[in-house]
Amino acid sequence: MMNQDLRIKELEQELERKDQEIQSLNHMNKRLSNSIDELKDEVYKYEDLVHSSNSLIAIFMGKDYIIDVANESIRDVWGKGHNVIGKPLLEVLPELRKQGIDDLLDQVYNTGIPYHADEVPVELVINGIPEIRYFDFTYQPQKNQKGEIIGVADIATDVTKQALLNKKVRENEYRYRELIHSSNSLIAILRGKEMVIEIANNAIKSVWGKGNDVEGKPLFEILPEMIGQGMPELFNEVYETGEPHFAQEKPLLHKKDGEMKLGYFDFVYQPQRNIHNQIDGVAVIAQDVTQQGILNKKVRESEKEFRELVNFMPHKISMSSATGEPVFYNNSWVTYTGKNAENLLENSWQSLIHPDDRERTEQMGEKVLATGQDLEMELRIFDKNGSPKWHLFRATAIKNEEGEITSWISSCTEIHKLKEEEQRKDDFLKLVSHELKTPVTSIKGYVQLLLSMIPKEEEEKENNKKLPVRPYLNRMEIQIERLIRLISEMLDLSRIEQKELQLKKEYFKLNEHVEQIIEDISYSNRDVQIELQHQDQSEVFADKDRIGQVIINFVTNALKYSPEGNRVIIKIFEGKNAHVGVSVRDFGIGIAKKEQKKIFKRFYRIAGNKDYTYAGFGIGLYLSNEIIKRHKGRIYLDSQIGKGSEFTFTLPKQKTK
C-alpha cells in the first residue's frame, strides 16, 4: 500500500511537472510566434528600406553573381528594365566586363575583403545609349551562418553630378595654374598671414633666384633681403585692410646668385578671399621693368642736370607744351619778375608782357605754333617793380623722331640798354638829317642855278678847255643827289621807327612809272643796259613815290653790286591772287643763302663786301621791305653767289583794307 500510495504521489507529481512543461511550452510557443511576427516585420522593414533607399543596393549570389536583390534606384541606373532578378549580373550588364568590374567582384568574392572606391567612372548602356556615370561604391562580401562567402552586396551612390563638377573645378584649376605658369608676368600666390608660397610661376622664381623649390615656404624665409625694404609691412597692410597696393617702378634690392642686385618693378598686391569672403592670402603680380627703370632714372637725372644748368643761366629760359602753354620757368624768370615759379605758371604769360606788345606777340606766337618755325622778336617784359624792359625773345620747337613738335624752349635776353642807345642814335640821326636837309637842298638849288647860267656845251667848247666848269658842276649835282637820297632815307627810317610813315595811295599805271624811273636812272648812269619786259599791264592803288623808291633801290643796288657788267633785266608780271610783281635781275656778285634774310634788317651790310668798293649804309632794303609790307605786298629774293640776284616785290592791284 505504501508503495502504491508512493507511486500515485509520484505520478501526480509527474503530471504536475508535465502540466508545468506544457504550460511553459505553450508560453514558449507564444513567444516564438511573436518572434516570428517580429522577424517578419524586421524583414519587411529591411526590404522596404532597401527598396525605398536612394542608395543603389543590390546583392549578387554565387560565383555567377545572380541578382538576388536590386532596388529600384540601381535598376534605374542600370537601365535594363525591371526584370532582372534571378539573372547573372554580367549577362544583364555585359558592358561591365571590359571595365574590370568582374575582376573586382571576383576579388571580393575570393578574398572576403570588402572593396570601396570613390568617383569611379563606369560606362553604362542606359536604354541603349552609352553613358559615363560616376559612383562611390562598396562591394561587401555576403556570408552564410558558417562564415562561407555566398555572394557580394553592392552599395553605391551615383555621384555623377558632383564628379562632373569636381572635374570642372579641377580643369579650371589646372587652366588657372597653367595660365599663371605660362605668364610672362611675375606671379605668386601667398597663403595666410605667414605668406606661405602656394604658387610661384617660373618667371618670379627666376627673378627671386632662390631655386625651384619654394612652394610651401614663407615668402620672407625665401627672400629675407626684402625685410629691411618695407615689404612685410606692405603685405601685412594688404592682408589686414583688403586694399590692393599698386606700385610703379619700385626700386628693390634682391639677392640673386649670391649678389645683391637693384631691380625696378611694377606690381600689385591683391588680397585673396575665400568663399566666406575672408582674406586668406595675397596675390603678387609684377613686371620686371629694371631696364626701363634705369633708363627713366637716367632721364630724371639728366633732366635734373638740365634744370640746374638752366637755372644757373643768367638768361630767362622757359619751356612750353606743344600748344604753347608754359610748363617751366627758370630762376632768372623768378628773380626778374619777383614771382615764384608756381605763380608764373598760374598766371597767363600775357600778363608779363607790356600791353602794347601783347597783340603782336600773340600773332607771332600763333604763327610759329602753326608752322613750327623759330621765333625771334623784341618785346617789353615787366620786371618785379612793374617797369617794362626790352627783351629779345627767341623760341624754338623741340621735335620727336617723327618730326612732331613735343615742346618749345624759349629764351629772353634783356636788351633794354641797347634799345635805349639805339633810340638815342635814332633821335640823333633824325636831328642830323633834319638839320642837313635844308642846307643840302639849297646847295642843290645853287648848283642847278649855276648850271643854267653858264653857256651851252657846244658854245663853250673853247672855254671848257680852259675851265671845265660844267662837268664839275654835273658831278657835284650827282653827289648832292646821293646826299639828298641818303638824308631822306635817314628821315624815312626815323619815321618808320616812330610810326610816322604815311602812305599817300592813289591809282597809277605801274608800267609807265617803271619806264619813267628807268629813264631817270639811265640819264645819270649813261653806260647802263636796262631791259624792261612788260608781261602784264597794270594799274595799282599805291603810294607812287614810295613804290618808285623801292624800284630805284633795287635797280641802284643791282648796278652797284655788279662791278663787271651793267646789265639789268626788269620784269613786270602778273602775280597770283590779283597781285602784280616787279622783279629786278642782275648778274653781279650775288648773295649767300645765309645772308638773304638778314639784308632786309636795318643797317645790315654783308661783311667782306669791301665797304670802300660798295658805298652804302644798309638802309635801302630795310626801307623797301617796310614800304612793301605796308602795302600788304611781299618781297623776296632769289640769288646765287657769283651769278647774280633777282629782287622781286608784289603788290595787290586793288585797294586793300
- Residues lying near ligand ADP in the complex (CB under 6 A): 553, 557-558, 561, 586, 588-589, 591, 599, 604-606, 609, 616-622, 645
Q: Least Å distance between CB 619 and ligand ADP?
A: 6
3-state DSSP helix/strand/coil percent for the chain, to nearest 5? 45, 30, 25
Q: Least Å distance between CB 318 and ligand ADP?
A: 34
Q: Are 315 and 413 in contact (CB under 8 A)?
A: yes
Q: Which of 73/549 has CB closer to ligand ADP? A: 549
Q: Least Å distance between CB 387 and ligand ADP?
A: 34
Q: Which of 538/557 has CB closer to ligand ADP? A: 557
d(CA 636, CA 648): 5
d(CA 120, CA 133): 8
- Pick from 525, 433, 434: which is nearest to 474 by CA? 525
Please identify the residue of the shown chain whose CB is closest to the bound ligand ADP. Answer: 616
Q: Least Å distance between CB 561 and ligand ADP?
A: 3
Q: Which of 218/590 has CB closer to ligand ADP? A: 590
d(CA 587, CA 568): 7
d(CA 648, CA 621): 12
Q: Which of 11/432 has CB closer to ligand ADP? A: 432
Q: Least Å distance between CB 517 and ligand ADP?
A: 16
Q: What φ, ψ does residue 567 adopt, rounded to 5°?
A: -90, 130
Using left for φ > 0, alpha for ψ between -120 and 50, and beta otherwise, residue 338 falls in: left
Q: Which of 265/647 has CB closer to ligand ADP? A: 647
Q: Least Å distance between CB 570 and ligand ADP?
A: 13
Would you give the DSSP letter of residue 88? B
Q: Which of 304/597 has CB closer to ligand ADP? A: 597
Pairing of strands 388-399, 375-382: antiparallel
d(CA 455, CA 387): 67
In what helix (H) or strand (E) does residue 73 lie, and over which residues does it extend? helix 72-78
Would you give the DSSP letter of residue 598? G
Q: Least Å distance between CB 618 and ligand ADP?
A: 4
Q: Least Å distance between CB 492 and ligand ADP?
A: 12
Provide DSSP, 91-136. Answer: HH-GGGGGGTHHHHHHHHHHH---EEEEEEEEEEEETTEEEEEEEE
Q: Least Å distance between CB 562 and ligand ADP?
A: 7
**How many Å from the N-terminal Cα to the C-terminal Cα in the chain?**
181
Q: Which of 201/557 has CB closer to ligand ADP? A: 557
Q: Least Å distance between CB 447 and ligand ADP?
A: 24
Q: Are 363 and 350 in contact (CB under 8 A)?
A: no
Q: Which of 296/522 has CB closer to ligand ADP? A: 522
Would you give the DSSP letter of residue 185? S
Who's near 591: CB < 8 A, 6+ residues apart?
599, 606, 637, 639, 641, 645
Who's near 244: CB < 8 A, 6+ residues apart?
238, 268, 269, 270, 271
Q: Which of 549/553 has CB closer to ligand ADP? A: 553
Provide DSSP, 32-51. Answer: HHHHHHHHHHHHHHHHHHHH
CA dihedral 34, 40, 46, 52 (to 10 degrees): -120
Q: Are 238 and 269 in contact (CB under 8 A)?
A: yes
Q: Which of 181/598 has CB closer to ligand ADP? A: 598
User: Measured on CA atoms in the order 89, 94, 96, 98, is the torsion positive or negative?
Assistant: positive
d(CA 397, CA 172): 56
Q: Which of 369/490 has CB closer to ligand ADP? A: 490
Helix (H, G, I), strand (E, B) or coil at 256: strand
- Per DSSP, helices labelled H in 509-619 are 510-524, 544-560
CB half-sphere exposure, 96, CA atoms < 13 A: 15
Residue 583: Cβ within 10 Å count: 20
Q: Which of 326/620 has CB closer to ligand ADP? A: 620
Q: Which of 176/617 has CB closer to ligand ADP? A: 617
Q: Least Å distance between CB 427 and ligand ADP?
A: 21
Q: Which of 136/626 has CB closer to ligand ADP? A: 626
Residue 604, all three cell numbers: 645790315
Q: Are 252 and 226 in contact (CB under 8 A)?
A: yes
Q: Least Å distance between CB 621 and ligand ADP?
A: 3
CA dihedral 474, 480, 485, 490 (to 10 degrees): 170
Q: Least Å distance between CB 628 and ligand ADP?
A: 13
Q: Least Å distance between CB 431 and ligand ADP?
A: 21
Q: Which of 281/620 has CB closer to ligand ADP? A: 620
Q: Which of 46/617 has CB closer to ligand ADP? A: 617
Q: Least Å distance between CB 551 and ligand ADP?
A: 13
